[in-house]
Structure 1
Amino acid sequence: MITTVLRNALRARGREPAVLCHTGADTRAELAGLPTAPADVILDLDARPLGEPVLDDDRVAGLVAVVAATTTDLNRVLTAAVHLPRAVHVVVALVATPGHQEPPVPAGPGMGQWRDLQELRVRRVGSRGWVCELFFPNATESAPVLDAVLHGTRGRRRGPAVTPLVALNGAEAALWRPGDTGAHGVAQEGPVPLRRVTPVGDLALRVHGATPPPVWTDETVPALDRTTTGTDSWEALTGPDGYEQASRSALLTTDRPDADPVQRIAPIDETTVNPTGFNKAEKGPLADLTLRGDRAVIADGRKELVAVAPDGTVTDVDLSRLRHLRGVRVDWSGHRGPHAAVRAVASLAAGGVPLVSGPVPTWAAGLGAPLTALLDSATDADLSDRLAREEHSVRLRRAALYTHGQRSRWRALAAEAGVPVPPAPRISVILCTRRPDMVGFALAQIARQRGVEAETVLTLHGFPASLPEVRSAIDAHRSTGLPLVVHEAPADRVFGAVLNDSVARASGDLIAKWDDDDWYGPEHLADLVLARTYSGAELVGTGQDFVFLQEIDLMVWRSRESETATRFIAGGTILTDRVVLEETGGFRPLPRAIDTQLLIAVTRGGGRVHRTHGLGYVLRRTGGGHTWSEDMAYFLHNYARQWSGWRPSSLLEGEPAPLGSGAAAASPAVTTQHTGGHP
């Protein structure tokens, strides 16, 4: 099908040259045997150095076609696609996509560039592939077209931007900045080009082989140097045994003795390599990441499930082929070399694939201490129990995304070069309560959040802050140094309006909703921010996986599907951007069902809701008074596991003591008062 589309496009392109590009495994074959002309160009975008135009003299192409093995591959080469010529006909073919992605229906840019678009075709290829064709009467820039097609698979939001602006040099430079059509190619010695009087980048990155690059000549824009993934291959390392000589790896020997080997590793593209689609398959087979011949593969016995790219890239489609596995065992004797091996293992971890291995070798120091510690301590037994397996997966994905995600990597590179970047988004936690006795309990849950910058907007619905138990809790929270805004709302003001009043008093970029009687793990907010980054969803939250039935002292684990687009999440776990609340009209002025109405408004407006794991949240249920009307029997008939007494996931990390002397009665072991949701 793809070859047929390309053949017809070549016949219709007129006298202008065609530029036929491929990226990812086995895509060159799609271009074989096509009726090309002498002036046509066949281009491997994976090997294309940045900074070199494809056609001379700014010529217009009759056709620009890109055949990508996966969306991960297409996203990576968007960075190199800035050098593609303008064209009147653009074809984008995706050989395979994971099942959770949307069709590549592009959304046009906002400055009128596509007003004269003549025709758009989107067709499915096989069960998982797509072809998108766009026809323009006048030539248009190719890279923005590719970008629009790619982001059609992710919804309307692009997620938080990667900063700073960069100029790149080297054939593997796109690995360091996938998906960035704002990146510019630069000569190896510089300088960074100007747009009028301003450099097009704030930082330059040069990716080179074993030969050191020339002296950097730009006195305004700093440059950092990194080596390609093949520079430290076993074959390139000196000595009869490459493994024994791995200490000579470029990851471990740098010009700065205090340099972090993690920062020598090309980052993970978290927008495509992430835990979306995670499968709770504790009864599946255990595969091996190992070497067969000269290829690194993930194999289940004799069956090869995934062939890992030589540079260590793992794609979204690769992850979808591994979701049925219980886990993957890492054979450290495999892969081409340290850099590629570290990238492959970190990518699997970021994708939520449960991993086990023997002791991590010293040459894999680029993994970073958190990921290394998890791999050192994991055993096959951790993958045989459903809950323990998911807990291990969550810890792995946290460590990998925090350490190797593209956004965190570039913030570290900017710090190394002395380039300032904008601060991380600030979260405003909206806590609205009618119960004075629960204030200390709720504030203690918020105070122990880590990995984020957060303020709390505490709204006292119908009672004053001067009550002794409330005042002591507020004073204890403020003594931690964490920002707190206190608002007193009249008792007769409807709940939805009170929430909007709270949002109006918040100063954060993100708004998180918090229930006064539920339990939250210390990385609850950080997990939501991660999910917002990799999912691109307008609103994220968790499921109600753990439910504590207080009246009968029973903990229920429901083990719902996670890391997926959904129409329902727990209302006490909502995280969204302030602008999304503006776009949806805020919370409806209703006394109950406020959360459900917000979810409906987001999806009605074309937004997406993403449900991440629910292991760091426990919903408390008592006899009545809940805004969610299901009775206790509902939970007793819908569960995967139950325990007598208090038994949350280990990711909850226990529970903090309530803040303030008057809040001690909120402990689940001794409480007897009504503690339902906000009535």
Structure 2
Amino acid sequence: MRRLRTARLRHEAHELARRLTGGVTVRMTRWDTVEVSPTHGLRPRRYRLDDPQARRPVHAEVLRLDLPDAACLERLAGSCLLHGHVREVSLRIATMPTWLRGGLRPRGLARDTTAVSWRAVGSRLEVRLRWKSRRSVGDALDELCTTVLRPRRWEQTGGVVPTVDRTAWVRGSSTWPHGVLGDPPLDTSGPFPPLTTRTVEFRWPLVTALANPHGRRLVGTARRYSLRPDGDGVVLWTEAGDRVLSFHPRGSVEQTLVSPRWDKYAVVSLADDLPDTPFVDHVLAGLAACGVVMTSPSAAVRDRLAHRGHVVVDDPSTVDGPSGYQVSVAAARNAAIRHDPALRHTPLARLAAVGGTGSNGTGSNGEATPLSLPTVSVLIASKRPTDVMTCVRDLAAQTYPTFEVLLGTHGYTLDEATVADLRAHLPVPLRVVDVPADRTLGEVLGTLSRRADGELLAKVDDDDRYGPDHLTDLVVATRTSGADLVAKAARFVHLVGEGTTVDRTWAAVEAYDVTPAGGTMLLSRGVLQAAGGWSTSPRHVDADLLARVRSIGGTIYRTHGLGYVYVRHGGEHTWQADHAQLLDDGDVRYDGLPEAILTP
């Protein structure tokens, strides 16, 4: 009898182990809740991602993720709710935006990867990764997210690499995808310290790979909408009373914002009875990250919005023309910095510290350890010594906190007094490199790139004009777009001889794989090296680099054109276009150079 009972217990234990390790399926039931179901008949359990006590072990052969959209995947990974080990992860996403359905983009498959599949059918996406040996759930989700969402860790050569675990998530100090997902937690006494040991105000992180200004067209007067409560959710309405977007806790805010049915250059009026809940706050953060400016008939509501860091106007009609474009750009910039987990704990947070507890990454219990930003090396290949001081003054006003300037004097030499004057204007390091006149532009840029210390390289033309947020906008766009090279549009062209600035509104839209302005390109040293460096051709250096970045599978994103003006003197330029053509290209002309184009 004892043997039979022992055999039965062993059989039951084996069957239970088979059920537990055979497979686990994870589904989203609400924007903040997941349901975890073992494959073999055990009852599913639900977990809130923001519940400090929630933590689910997963030791299975296969982890299946059945999710409505990509934002759910990033939230699930960043929350570190699941821990354990799996041999295979299988993902099915019901709806993917077009700019993320372009194909498989793994950062680097592990050596023991035995199977990889990617299948896109319409808007649905299915991905499968399998390894020879078991991997931690954190590593598996990290690799999966990198393949699907293309999140970018800062390409830095030194500094803190924080560990991201469940504690970091519930304390509000999570920095995923910048941090390393720890499962089990990495040794915090070694190279992977926690970002902070103090509690920071918890805010739902925004998935800016979806909630971003992609497709925004800054032209004319902003579209007007109103946001009103509707049951458990909220609805965005047009002035004519048409329903545009419906946000409900059962769905994803970020995926709703992907819809092409609305204009991201907009002013949204909030109803007085809008509920003050985390879900509504997340909706407002997502709208702002797309470029939406807030307003309300109620002064109290406007004050509350401003206190929470939103860009607010009293009169919606003022969001018009260059000053209105700047307001929309500021709204998107502030929201990305405040709510993206890889940005909100960096020194950039001070730019978005409009008001409210935690607006600069701190809480009532103390300050979080600031996260390092990648250093930017600004490369200037100059043939015009008369333009250098104006360029340096524009760079001296930059809001981005960590950069250096490398000035290549192409065919001329600056005297010591002039160099000292330039250094006196700059709050960052300046290095001057003399390059012979017989060298091509690409050779000058190559020389500067080899001497640069920064992780990111920014090309700047000495005779163009740059606003104070130029570098910040490019770094933020690098994070939110996931592109290998980002740049601004050559939308605004100042013709010095005519005293006119042309607004080429056809270049207003923010998009992937369109031609950007060569004098605004930002890319990492790794991407530049993978593409083969700068061409030695005397012309078309920018177009050549863009073509070669595409040839290695890289993506290019053109963000807005604010804070940059292409200046045309009528002399020699690498971009060959006559004044008449530029004038004809412009839909709007301004006398002189309006300050609102450059300065917010």
Coarse TM-score class (shorter-chain normalised): 0.7 to 0.9
Would the alpha carbon gap of residues 42 and 633 (structure 1) be closer, same or farther in structure 2, given more than 3 Å must change? farther
Deviation of 1:495 (Å): 2.3
Alpha-carbon distance between aligned partners in 1 of 2:153 and 2:426, rounded to the nearest angstrom:
35
* Other structure's SS at 2:334 match: helix
Q: Percent identity?
A: 25
* 1:361 corresponding residue in structure 2: 300
Would the alpha carbon gap of residues 154 and 565 (structure 1) be closer, same or farther in structure 2, given more than 3 Å must change? farther
Deviation of 1:88 (Å): 5.1
* 1:254 corresponding residue in structure 2: none
Would the alpha carbon gap of residues 424 and 341 (structure 1) be closer, same or farther in structure 2, given more than 3 Å must change? same
* Other structure's SS at 1:224 match: coil
2:323–2:597 CA contact under 8 A, matched in 1: no
Instruction: Determine which of 151, 166, 169 is the counterpart of 1:168.
Output: 166
Residue 447 of structure 2 is aligned to residue 501 of structure 1: yes
Deviation of 1:618 (Å): 1.0
Residue 574 of structure 2 is aligned to residue 627 of structure 1: yes
1:583-608 CA-to-partner distances (Å, cap 9, x unmatched) read: 22321222221111221221112212
Matches within 5 A, 1:308-323: 308-309=248-249, 314-321=253-260, 323=262
Instruction: Determine which of 386, 396, 401 is the counterpart of 2:336.
Output: 401
Letter of the 1:83 partner, please give it. L
Instruction: Determine which of 449, 453, 456 is the counterpart of 2:405.
Output: 456
More strand by percentage? 2
Letter of the 2:572 partner, please give it. G
Deviation of 1:628 (Å): 1.1
Would the alpha carbon gap of residues 285 and 488 (structure 1) be closer, same or farther in structure 2, given more than 3 Å must change? closer
* Other structure's SS at 1:633 match: helix
* 2:117 corresponding residue in structure 1: 120
Would the alpha carbon gap of residues 285 and 198 (structure 1) be closer, same or farther in structure 2, given more than 3 Å must change? closer
Deviation of 1:350 (Å): 1.4
Question: 514-523 or 585-594: which moved more?
Answer: 585-594
Residue 462 of structure 2 is aligned to residue 516 of structure 1: yes
1:306-357 CA-to-partner distances (Å, cap 9, x unmatched) read: 21438x9731442435543662523253444254443332321112234333
Instruction: Determine which of 255, 265, 270 is the counterpart of 1:331.
Output: 270
Matches within 5 A, 1:483-494: 483-494=429-440
Instruction: Determine which of 19, 26, 30 is the counterpart of 1:21.
Output: 26
Alpha-carbon distance between aligned partners in 1 of 2:371 and 2:35, rounded to the nearest angstrom:
43
Alpha-carbon distance between aligned partners in 1 of 2:412 and 2:366, rounded to the nearest angstrom:
52
* 2:236 corresponding residue in structure 1: 298
* 1:189 corresponding residue in structure 2: none
Alpha-carbon distance between aligned partners in 1 of 2:243 and 2:454, rounded to the nearest angstrom:
50
Q: Which runs of 5+ in 1 are unaligned?
A: 1-12, 187-192, 205-221, 227-263, 655-679
2:195–2:369 CA contact under 8 A, matched in 1: no
Alpha-carbon distance between aligned partners in 2 of 1:621 and 1:334, rounded to the nearest angstrom:
52
1:72–1:273 CA contact under 8 A, matched in 2: no
1:194-248 CA-to-partner distances (Å, cap 9, x unmatched) read: 65976975256xxxxxxxxxxxxxxxxx24165xxxxxxxxxxxxxxxxxxxxxx
* 2:357 corresponding residue in structure 1: none
2:345–2:368 CA contact under 8 A, matched in 1: no
Alpha-carbon distance between aligned partners in 2 of 1:326 and 1:108, rounded to the nearest angstrom:
33
Letter of the 2:64 partner, please give it. A
1:442-499 CA-to-partner distances (Å, cap 9, x unmatched) read: 2222222223333221222222212xxx844751542554422112222222222122
Please tell me the root mean square deviation across aligned C-alpha atoms, in Å.
Answer: 3.9
* 1:379 corresponding residue in structure 2: 315
Residue 525 of structure 2 is aligned to residue 578 of structure 1: yes
* 1:269 corresponding residue in structure 2: 207
* 2:70 corresponding residue in structure 1: 71
Instruction: Determine which of 224, 227, 244 is the counterpart of 2:199.
Output: 224
* Other structure's SS at 2:381 match: strand
Would the alpha carbon gap of residues 49 and 123 (structure 1) be closer, same or farther in structure 2, given more than 3 Å must change? farther
1:156–1:607 CA contact under 8 A, matched in 2: no
Alpha-carbon distance between aligned partners in 2 of 1:449 and 1:354, rounded to the nearest angstrom:
24
Would the alpha carbon gap of residues 648 and 129 (structure 1) be closer, same or farther in structure 2, given more than 3 Å must change? farther
* 1:423 corresponding residue in structure 2: 372
Would the alpha carbon gap of residues 37 and 492 (structure 1) be closer, same or farther in structure 2, given more than 3 Å must change? closer
* Other structure's SS at 1:400 match: helix
Matches within 5 A, 1:459-478: 459-466=408-415, 471-472=417-418, 474-478=420-424
* Other structure's SS at 2:60 match: coil
Question: 514-523 or 165-174: which moved more?
Answer: 165-174
* 1:38 corresponding residue in structure 2: 41
Would the alpha carbon gap of residues 557 and 185 (structure 1) be closer, same or farther in structure 2, given more than 3 Å must change? same
Letter of the 1:563 partner, please give it. E
Residue 392 of structure 2 is aligned to residue 443 of structure 1: yes
Matches within 5 A, 1:578-597: 578-597=525-544
* Other structure's SS at 1:478 match: helix
* 1:53 corresponding residue in structure 2: 56
Instruction: Determine which of 315, 324, 346 is the counterpart of 2:285.
Output: 346
How does the TM-score come out when normalised to structure 1?
A: 0.72
Question: 540-549 or 433-442: which moved more?
Answer: 433-442
Instruction: Determine which of 121, 127, 149 is the counterpart of 1:132.
Output: 127
* Other structure's SS at 2:99 match: coil
